[in-house]
């Protein structure tokens, strides 16, 4: 892109931000390609307008039902179609979940997220999950679940149970999606998000980078998120964790600066959303994570385990926060 064309795109970006217009893929891709220092300055300036730049929100994730999923998401070790080390298990009981949530709260987490490897929950599944939600709520924590695709009546049932957030990631762009997943459509995911929003539940929705997508694919994903009628309250940005036995195990590791750029662009395009630095932190240096926080990430998954993959030790996270002067939120939000 020529200097003149780049300047024209910058002018269009300013206009789009000022007028709160829908973002275009070209505008988002232009942000992703900006010189890093310029991109970080823009993102940090916007971040400071809406958030305390020295504070991070902590969420803890628990796998409440592992493996056996019939889907073929190419990154996921919980698929029954792939030979991985993940063993299928039944739903955890209330006492086990409450104990884990209490430990997370005592470690500083303000939200407790629960994931079950279903394509879509049945009525009987929700009947078992609702007591788990209520047990976590009774501890004074915000609740989030990710259970697969939801019908409107299921979303309404979860809302009535007091659920605060529902996570359902888009994963990637509409254009690249079919390369990674064939067992559910992009529209299926959008329909679930619409059901969640219509039920009055907060939306947690983001994606994964490093699956072989282009910069334009990342731009398209961010546009899909940012152009929703109401932007997601939480936007998890994940770096692919390459798990042995999955179709994407041989994908090359991406440069951490790509993660930084994606976080910064998400912050610019969704200024009031919490941007969560999610899977992949185990492979990032402290310095790379610090850049992500500077770029506008203000939430993390906190605890040694995500659904099936490792996460940094809580003591390591606390040490990093101390070294760079980050404090943690004391009330759950975002």
Would strands 327-328 and 55-65 be described as parallel, antiparallel, or unpaired? parallel
Contact 140, 106 (CB under 8 A): no
Identify the three-state secondary structure at position 206. coil
Question: Which is catalytic among the residues 76, 205, 223, 292?
Answer: 76
Task: Out of 73, 205, 223, 292, pick the active-site residue.
Answer: 73
Contact yes or no for 167/236 (Cβ under 8 A)? yes
Annotated active-site residue 113? The verdict is: yes
Is 69 labeled as catalytic in the residue annotation? yes
62: nearest Cα among 172, 183, 145: 145
Question: How do 142-146 and 327-328 pair as beta strands?
Answer: unpaired
Would you tell me the crossing angle of helices 215-226 and 256-269 to the nearest 10 degrees? 30
Active-site annotation holds for 205: no
Distance between CA atoms of residues 46 and 33, nearest Å:
18
Is 276 in the active site? yes
Q: Classify 12 as helix, strand or coil.
A: helix
The active-site residue out of 204, 205, 223, 292 is: 204
Active-site hit among 105, 111, 242, 276? 276
Angle at 37 between CA 32 and CA 41, to 5 degrees: 90
Identify whether the C-beta of residue 42 lies closer than 8 Å to the C-beta of residue 48: no
Judge whether 110 and 143 are in contact, CB under 8 Å: no
Q: Answer whether 165's CB lies under 8 Å from 142's CB.
A: yes
Out of 105, 111, 144, 197, which one is annotated catalytic? 144
Q: Out of 113, 205, 223, 292, which one is annotated catalytic?
A: 113
Which residue among the candidates 69, 205, 223, 292 is catalytic per the annotation?
69
Beta bridge partners of 69: 79
Look up 292 and say whether it is catalytic.
no
Residues tagged active-site: 69, 73, 76, 113, 144, 204, 276
């Amino acid at each position: 892109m020529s200097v003149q064309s780049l300047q024209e795109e910058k002018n269009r970006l300013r206009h789009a931000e000022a007028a709160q217009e829908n973002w275009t893929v070209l505008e988002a891709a232009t942000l992703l390609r900006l010189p890093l220092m310029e991109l970080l300055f823009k993102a940090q300036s916007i971040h400071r307008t809406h958030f305390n730049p020295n504070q991070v929100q902590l969420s803890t994730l628990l796998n409440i039902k592992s493996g056996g999923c019939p889907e073929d998401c190419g990154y996921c070790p919980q698929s029954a179609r792939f030979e991985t080390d993940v063993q299928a298990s039944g739903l955890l009981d209330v006492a086990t979940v409450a104990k884990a949530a209490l430990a997370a709260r005592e470690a500083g987490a303000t939200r407790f997220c629960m994931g079950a490897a279903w394509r879509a929950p049945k009525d009987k599944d929700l009947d078992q999950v609702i007591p788990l939600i209520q047990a976590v709520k009774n501890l004074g924590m915000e609740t989030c679940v990710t259970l697969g695709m939801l019908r409107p009546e299921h979303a309404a049932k979860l809302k009535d149970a007091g659920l605060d957030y529902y996570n359902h990631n888009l994963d990637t762009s509409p254009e690249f999606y079919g390369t990674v997943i064939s067992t559910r459509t992009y529209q299926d995911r959008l329909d679930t998000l619409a059901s969640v929003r219509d039920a009055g539940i907060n939306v947690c929705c983001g994606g994964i980078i490093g699956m072989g997508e282009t910069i334009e694919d990342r731009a398209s994903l961010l546009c899909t998120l940012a152009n929703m009628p109401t932007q997601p309250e939480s936007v998890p940005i994940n770096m692919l964790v390459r798990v042995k036995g999955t179709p994407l195990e041989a994908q090359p590791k991406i440069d951490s600066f790509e993660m930084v750029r994606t976080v910064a662009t998400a912050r610019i395009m969704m200024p009031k959303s919490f941007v969560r630095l999610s899977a992949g932190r185990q492979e990032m240096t402290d310095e790379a994570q610090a850049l992500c926080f500077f770029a506008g990430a203000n939430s993390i998954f906190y605890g040694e385990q995500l659904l099936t993959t490792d996460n940094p030790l809580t003591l390591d996270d606390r040490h990093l926060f101390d070294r760079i002067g980050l404090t943690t939120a004391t009330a759950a939000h975002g």
